[in-house]
Structure 1
Amino acid sequence: MTEKSPPAGPGEQHRALLDAAVRAPSSHNTQPWLFRLEHDAVHLFADRTRALPVNDPDDRELTISCGCALLNLRVAATAAGLRAACRLLPDSDTEDLLATVHLAPGSDGAGDAALAGEIGRRRTLRKRFDDRAVPPAVLRDLLRAVEDEGAWAVVVDGEAQRQAVASLVSEGDAMQWSSPHWRRELAQWMHPRRRGDGLALAGIAAPLAQVVVRTVDMGTGVGAKDHALAENSPLLLAIGTAGDGSEDWLRAGQALERLLLVACGHGLQAGYLNQPLQLPALRHRLQHQLGHDGFPQLLLRLGYCDDPGEASPRRPLDTVLVAADDGRHETR
């Protein structure tokens, strides 16, 4: 008779949930999250030591990234047979506490459980997609995924609208690359893969890439490449929210990650063209192009790719855990 392994204790089970959470995407792969575990709860904190003050001065994208991690945590909990009751911004006196997830036996989300298998298969693509079109039924699933998390999505459709949005992307590239401060911040997050975070490069290439990025304005070339990606992607869409505060950003992140997991289940991957969202003047113009009264938060392209490549590196779980007696991350 084969001896069965003992069931995972609460600590091991919680760590399995966190392993799913930290696979979420984040700007420059900064992984700006921390977690504190209790027997029946997980607390999610923003790690603002990993912020991008030039690229993301209001921590908007940082909070969106944490929202992505939160959605992964919820999905993994459902797959583990747990009910996850999530409360956003539970303590107004603790700014860094973004969410508390209370866990209890019993799951009522079969659909979410099915998504858990896609967490490890999701990738961020920077190359061009195949030319295959996204079927209407798949598009409906993607839009529903966003709406299920309290956000909205607008498909960028038609040649004129695509051209206008693509031009905003390339204009954003030019503005960002012209800034030495922005280039310096980007270079700081170019790391050898063994570091476990940042924009991973082969070990010998990282120092050279950092020097080039810090000193050379490549906005024209990067802008032309991104303009072509925006023009030619099978699907280009924006995700937005009714408001523009921390809770809205958390909802946008959860909507993004749910969309990404649903997309992955259909064989799709995604890449980001968020330059217009990172510059206030361009964000307003993008809002006008989308024809929506709400606040656009993300611009992404989706499509098919037979070889999505390897996942971006992640830091060890122990580096994102904070102790219950850590005074910097108290909960009340």
Structure 2
Amino acid sequence: MTTAWKEDPWQVVEHDFPRYATSEVQLRFLLNYAVLAPSVHNTQPWRFRIVGSEVELYADRTRALAVADPEDRQLIISCGAALFHLQVAIRHFGYQPQVRLLPDPDDPDLLAFIQLGPPEPATLLDHRLFQAIKKRHTNRLPFEDRPVPEAELRALERAVEQEGGHLMVVQQKEKRYELAELIAEADRKQISDPRFRRELAAWTHPARRESKDGLPLTARGLHEWLGPAGPLVLRTFLWARGQVARDRQLAEGSPVLLVLLTDQDDPRAWLQAGQALDRLLLQAADYGLSASFLNQPIEVPEVREKLRTWLSTQAWPQTILRLGYGPPVPPTPRRPVHEVLLQSRYV
């Protein structure tokens, strides 16, 4: 039995699943897969508590982005992705996940209960989604000039609908350029705010082994040789101007842009959006596709309204993705389970 995953969840090995242990021990193991979910700026804004055969999922608002995400919308979407990762792992190992969203109106931080339900044989899709968990890495590099098959795009639309969301697929070059302009407009508004640049720098770390969250300098278009000076560069307006051009190029050069929407715009809808996003990302990874986020228009309220008008929809845009075929990229770091696990209230 390997135990490297106790400090690095990316090293978790499915054969180590404690099949004959208690539900509590099994759930602790399964949380290694939950924490591999994507999150805004890799903030990993989740906490868990195990109570018998149940996991409680909490928002960790100490990791909120006060400038970019003042309503904690992206924070809760990130938690929704972790929730879906956990459900995928539970199904893969032959159990039925039983989920209740927002179970306590008096505790807005308690986002969900996840019960390790009765045994249930996993489907082929369950297994494929599970195997995709460790394949899925946010890819911020340019994609190949290669179309995504229509059948796969339609399947991704259905995947999002299965979780209660909607997916707008933007393929036509003219439309991609129009959406890229909205991304650039939001970029310009954000980077003109020194508070935003400071917040971005706070979640960007030079390459070092002890970093278990945040993003590497390369994700911001900077070289790792800058070392500790990298986050200081991020605070400058000169870097910011270059970032606008880089984001526009990534958007215009991607074969497909996707906008994920929900009918409502509240914490329940954000949790559903996170689950829909995660199902989409895992299914895309299973197809060999890469994705990354271009959420700037959703983070700036007036540009978000422009986006709704441009899409001719009354639904609420929650996430913008670029999709395509990219080169391999390494995973971003994760906090080990013991760092995100709350003590049982009965201890």
| TM-score above 0.5, yes or no | yes
Go from structure 1 to structure 2 and tell me whether the alpha carbon gap of 1:80 and 1:225 turns closer, same or farther (over 3 Å shift).
Answer: same
CA-CA distance at 1:203 after TM superposition:
7.7
Q: Does 1:245 align with 2:266?
A: yes
Aligned-partner residue type, residue 271 of structure 1:
S
Work out whether residues 27 and 53 of structure 2, in 8 Å CA contact, stay in contact via their aligned partners in 1. Answer: no
- Corresponding position of 1:122: 136
2:136, 2:193 → 1: CA distance? 32
CA-CA distance at 1:220 after TM superposition:
2.7
1:82, 1:100 → 2: CA distance? 15
CA-CA distance at 1:205 after TM superposition:
3.6
Work out whether residues 175 and 219 of structure 1, in 8 Å CA contact, stay in contact via their aligned partners in 2. Answer: no
DSSP 3-state at the match of 1:28: helix
Please provide the CA RMSD for this pair: 1.9
Aligned residue among 109, 114, 117 for 1:101 = 114
Go from structure 1 to structure 2 and tell me whether the alpha carbon gap of 1:242 and 1:108 turns closer, same or farther (over 3 Å shift).
Answer: farther
What are the within-5 Å matches in structure 2 for residues 1-332 of structure 1? 7-9=19-21, 10-107=23-120, 109-110=122-123, 111-192=125-206, 193=208, 194-201=210-217, 205-305=226-326, 307-325=327-345
Work out whether residues 190 and 206 of structure 1, in 8 Å CA contact, stay in contact via their aligned partners in 2. Answer: no
TM-score, length-normalised on structure 2?
0.89
CA-CA distance at 1:7 after TM superposition:
3.7
Aligned-partner residue type, residue 319 of structure 1:
E
Work out whether residues 183 and 294 of structure 2, in 8 Å CA contact, stay in contact via their aligned partners in 1. Answer: yes
- Structure 2: gaps (5+ residues): 1-14, 218-222
Cα deviation code 1:171-212 (max 9, x no counterpart): 111111111000011111112442200113498644211111
- Corresponding position of 1:330: none
Residue range with higher mean Cα deviation, 211-220 or 177-186: 211-220
1:196, 1:203 → 2: CA distance? 16
Work out whether residues 233 and 239 of structure 2, in 8 Å CA contact, stay in contact via their aligned partners in 1. Answer: no
1:283, 1:254 → 2: CA distance? 21
DSSP 3-state at the match of 2:235: helix
TM-score, length-normalised on structure 1?
0.93
1:133, 1:244 → 2: CA distance? 32
CA-CA distance at 1:12 after TM superposition:
3.3
Aligned-partner residue type, residue 231 of structure 1:
E
DSSP 3-state at the match of 1:195: coil
Work out whether residues 176 and 219 of structure 1, in 8 Å CA contact, stay in contact via their aligned partners in 2. Answer: no
2:315, 2:325 → 1: CA distance? 29
1:291, 1:308 → 2: CA distance? 36
Cα deviation code 1:151-183 (max 9, x no counterpart): 000012323322211001111111111110000
Work out whether residues 234 and 240 of structure 2, in 8 Å CA contact, stay in contact via their aligned partners in 1. Answer: no
- Structure 1: gaps (5+ residues): 328-332
Aligned-partner residue type, residue 43 of structure 1:
E
1:7, 1:116 → 2: CA distance? 17
Work out whether residues 94 and 122 of structure 2, in 8 Å CA contact, stay in contact via their aligned partners in 1. Answer: no
Work out whether residues 144 and 324 of structure 2, in 8 Å CA contact, stay in contact via their aligned partners in 1. Answer: yes
Work out whether residues 101 and 111 of structure 2, in 8 Å CA contact, stay in contact via their aligned partners in 1. Answer: yes
Work out whether residues 37 and 324 of structure 1, in 8 Å CA contact, stay in contact via their aligned partners in 2. Answer: yes
1:228, 1:320 → 2: CA distance? 37
Aligned residues: 323
Query: How many percent identity over aligned positions?
Result: 47
CA-CA distance at 1:150 after TM superposition:
0.3
Work out whether residues 84 and 279 of structure 2, in 8 Å CA contact, stay in contact via their aligned partners in 1. Answer: yes
Work out whether residues 153 and 238 of structure 1, in 8 Å CA contact, stay in contact via their aligned partners in 2. Answer: yes
Cα deviation code 1:13-44 (max 9, x no counterpart): 21221111101111110000000012211110
Aligned-partner residue type, residue 85 of structure 1:
Q
